[in-house]
Structure 1
Amino acid sequence: MGKDRQKDKMSGIYIHIPFCERKCIYCDFYSIEKLSWIDSFVDSVLREIEIFKKESDFTETSCFDTIYFGGGTPSLLKISQAEKILNSLYKNFQISPNAEVTIEANPGTVDKEKLFSFKEVGVNRLSFGVQSFFDEDLKFLGRIHTSQDAIECVKFAFESGFENINIDLIFGLPGQSVKDWVKNLHKAIELGVPHISAYNLIVEKGTPLYELVRNGKVKLPDENEQAEMYEMTMETLESAGYIHYEVSNYAHEGFECRHNLKYWEYENYIGFGPSAHSFWANKRWWNVANLDKYLRAIGLDKLPIANFEILDSEKMIEEFIYLGLRSTGIDLNKFRGKFGFDFLDAEIREELNELEKLGFVEVDNFKVKLTRKGFSVCDEISVNLISKIKYVSR
């Protein structure tokens, strides 16, 4: 799978569905609870796709092999609405016949019939926002489902014919013990899902959780406890046969998320919907993060772009290193091809030798990748190597 994707240089498409029945207290993604706007939103996404196709100068020769419905809660879409969006994408772009088509789904918004219908219209990968199998955690986070709902949804997905299923889980929750976190992992393993995303809770400014923590009303596990949870995540999932292919993501072989790998491996992708980001060659742009402004722009037959940036070589090198270390490693041939010099320069090689001795990285003629120990200090290693690269490239 990996070899074919690299060879074909295919790109990805992201659709942001900004609707939730209830916004979670930790979430800083753009989403709203005005479900009555979904019909107008879908019509505008269809129009945005057409405008983009008309105005872009690279899609005629580009092929896409992943489509990802994120949010928000994409599973709030009617089947007919999801089908319209997919039909529009297939009409306007070259989509690979074996494309990975993912939809994020929250337990409590889907049943067996709806899951089966999603599969019928072309969705072949599900990502369930479970977060925890403890009802008290779900209540605190503002989730609308129970642990039993989550378990039943996963079972319904398998019964509906889905094989490629992800579960999102969060550790570092208030009052969460290492023991409870490991129970979450074992429950996910027991359900037989081939992909697990295990995230450390991040307290983002502007969220209700930030205010609760800032005001001392909520206390999170300390750094040592969170570090132990992360260590137990790697140990538990790797022991169960999952490949740790990104800082927070684990999969059985062949079930890595092809769409997310495009972000981590610095490949091209385009995004539709409010707040959606796009990246192509050395340009990044993003849509307005406001549904009303988004609808008005589309109504004027304009792309709803809020801003853009052209990345210089230094910025691209920084991002390439950071994203590579977070996932499958820094591809040395790809680095040389993109930037015109060897990553394993003498100055860098000396630093990598030290990191190898400490057990943080593995280096061969093709890749520099983090070990399990290295993943725990990924950001520090990235900053250090980036500073060395800046010195060498001057």
Structure 2
Amino acid sequence: MLDIYKFDESILGANTPDPLRFAFVKKASPHAGGMATPIKPEQTVSLLNDLYSSEVSKNNKRCLYIHIPFCRVRCTFCNFFQNAASRKLVDDYFAALMAEIKLKASMPWTQSGTFHAVYIGGGTPTDLSPLQVELLGKAIRKHFPLATDCEITLEGRINRFSDEMFERALAGGFNRFSFGIQSFNTQVRRSAKRLDDREVVLERVSRLSQTDQAPIILDLLYGLPYQSLEVFEQDLKDYLATGAHGLDLYQLVVGGNAPMLNLVEKGRIPPPATSAEKASMYELGSEFMAQHHMRQLSVNHWARDNRERSQYNSLAKTYAEVLPIGCGAGGNMGGYGMMNHRTLDNYMSAVKSGDPVVAMMTKQHALEPIFAALKSGFDSGVLARYFLPSFHGVSTFDFFGPLFKEWQRKGLVEVEQNYVSLTLAGRFWAVSLAQACIQVLQLKHQEQNAPMSVAV
């Protein structure tokens, strides 16, 4: 049995009449995850060769992630900026990227399975030229074994996303487009270093959506400087007015060396919203989407109609294997996590010399299948007994019974015989709940596998 009383509020949540705003101190990270063991650099090459040469079941869910590490402007909230875009840098990188694509596609591991979702992320993938976008899409369709309903997403900015770019992307086979709008409000956008005014963004998104050639998905952040509840509500109304097919609502989490931190410290922009203020925004967003009968696909994603499925988001964040391609791309295969070189020079040199582009590998935790199922359940808003692998021969659902009941008492979940459903507060704190479960399992696993002491 799980003794929950050995844990503090970081696991159990706080005793508060307002769990939506105060169950936890703050969202610690964008995604939940378990511990991993670093692989020694001298073991990387042989291990990669074994993974790449292996053939696996076609039933395994897998995704392809391709990274474009360029941006013309660094957003103030961003902690992932890598390279300023220039035509020569982008062209040279694209040539190296195509070489890596052909190499990775030829591996037995790649050809023995089926890819259910492809995501071109960054950076700003739309800093590629229209022709390069088309060639990239065609290369993916030519070289990789894709599911018949494979979702192929191009991420980007509305800024400079021309009709030619859209048409060539469609010609290349892209069937989903995700735009990081963050906010429609011009003042909010200016403080975040977004380039276009509200009217420009509204007009462009509306035109793309009206073509009905592919789902147009928008990302909105909530909690940005100058983004009051009134401004955020107008952002939601603007999304509705564009006719876009889906919406992600992401809580602002600023860390590392993001420029926003320095700007706030110097008094040049107001601070971002507190956790309690962001909880109010999430409440407003959830109620707005329900009022307009948007279909909720996860705790932070809604769809206007059945064309939008958000396959990559639901698979890659949970239990699918992800093949990473490109500078700075991360993924996982066969129980190992991997990250490609993050510096452009190192990546380009590795491609030219024929060396592995993977800079770092880790061995995933032995309980990763359970972690993945937990992350998937919390992300969807419902944990199902049948979907959770057993933990040391015990039902994981039953093992967590005392914790689930404690969370129910605190207004975070509703417990049924075979399901745990997240309340509004639980959906807001879904990552914290998933991380709490993962931490408990790691601790219990460590205790059960610790060497027994022998009395002398």
Question: TM-score over 0.5 for the alignment?
Answer: yes
Q: Deviation of residue 169 (structure 1)?
A: 1.1
- Partner of 2:244, secondary structure, is coil
Q: Deviation of residue 340 (structure 1)?
A: 5.5
Distance 1:272 1:135 in 2: 35
Contact residue 369 and residue 389 of structure 2 kept, 8 A: no
Q: Tell me which amino acid in the other structure corresponds to 1:284.
A: G
Which range is displaced more, 27-36 or 141-150? 27-36
Aligned to 1:206: 257
Instruction: Calculate the TM-score normalised by the size of structure 1.
Output: 0.89
Q: Tell me which amino acid in the other structure corresponds to 1:21.
A: R
Q: Tell me which amino acid in the other structure corresponds to 2:422.
A: L
Contact residue 116 and residue 160 of structure 1 kept, 8 A: no
Question: Is residue 2:195 matched to residue 1:173?
Answer: no
Q: Deviation of residue 164 (structure 1)?
A: 1.1
- Partner of 1:62, secondary structure, is coil
Aligned to 1:302: 355
- Partner of 2:148, secondary structure, is strand
Question: Is residue 2:162 matched to residue 1:111?
Answer: yes
Q: Flag the 1:140–1:329 CA change in 2: closer, same or farther, 3 A.
A: same
Q: Deviation of residue 10 (structure 1)?
A: 3.5
Q: Tell me which amino acid in the other structure corresponds to 1:33.
A: A
List aligned pairs for 1:25-104, cutoff 5 A: 25-36=76-87, 37-54=89-106, 56-104=107-155
List aligned pairs for 1:1-394, cutoff 5 A: 8-36=59-87, 37-54=89-106, 56-218=107-269, 219-252=271-304, 254=306, 255-314=308-367, 317-318=370-371, 320-336=373-389, 341-345=394-398, 347-364=399-416, 367-390=419-442, 393=445, 394=448
5+ long unaligned stretches in structure 1: 1-6
Contact residue 381 and residue 427 of structure 2 kept, 8 A: no
Distance 1:379 1:125 in 2: 26
Contact residue 209 and residue 245 of structure 2 kept, 8 A: no
Distance 2:302 2:104 in 1: 34
- Matched-pair identity in %: 24
Q: Tell me which amino acid in the other structure corresponds to 1:225.
A: E
Q: Tell me which amino acid in the other structure corresponds to 1:41.
A: Y
Q: Tell me which amino acid in the other structure corresponds to 1:43.
A: A
- Partner of 2:396, secondary structure, is coil
Contact residue 136 and residue 172 of structure 2 kept, 8 A: no
Contact residue 282 and residue 316 of structure 1 kept, 8 A: no
* Structure with larger Rg: 2
Q: Flag the 1:98–1:379 CA change in 2: closer, same or farther, 3 A.
A: closer
Q: Flag the 1:365–1:259 CA change in 2: closer, same or farther, 3 A.
A: farther
- Partner of 1:58, secondary structure, is helix
Matched positions, count: 386
Deviations 1:319-368 (A, max 9, x none): 542453133434433422797642222x4212223333444224456543
Contact residue 277 and residue 287 of structure 1 kept, 8 A: yes
Aligned to 1:3: none
Q: Tell me which amino acid in the other structure corresponds to 1:278.
A: G
Distance 2:317 2:394 in 1: 21
Deviations 1:51-80 (A, max 9, x none): 2234x4422210112111111111222232
Deviations 1:235-280 (A, max 9, x none): 1112222233333322235323111111233111112111101112
- Partner of 1:336, secondary structure, is coil
Instruction: Calculate the TM-score normalised by the size of structure 2.
Output: 0.78
Q: Deviation of residue 306 (structure 1)?
A: 1.0
Q: Deviation of residue 226 (structure 1)?
A: 1.9
Which range is displaced more, 42-51 or 376-385? 376-385
Q: Deviation of residue 282 (structure 1)?
A: 1.3
Deviations 1:138-186 (A, max 9, x none): 1111112221221122122134333411111122122221111111111
Q: Deviation of residue 311 (structure 1)?
A: 0.8
Which range is displaced more, 113-122 or 67-76? 113-122
Q: Flag the 1:133–1:325 CA change in 2: closer, same or farther, 3 A.
A: same
Contact residue 299 and residue 380 of structure 2 kept, 8 A: yes
Higher relative contact order (CA 8 A, sep 6+): 2
Q: Tell me which amino acid in the other structure corresponds to 1:12.
A: C
| RMSD across aligned positions (CA) | 2.5
Distance 2:395 2:83 in 1: 46
Which range is displaced more, 153-162 or 19-28? 153-162
Deviations 1:184-236 (A, max 9, x none): 11110122222111122221211211222344543223333222112111111
Q: Deviation of residue 388 (structure 1)?
A: 4.3
Distance 1:124 1:261 in 2: 17
Contact residue 314 and residue 376 of structure 2 kept, 8 A: no
Aligned to 2:26: none
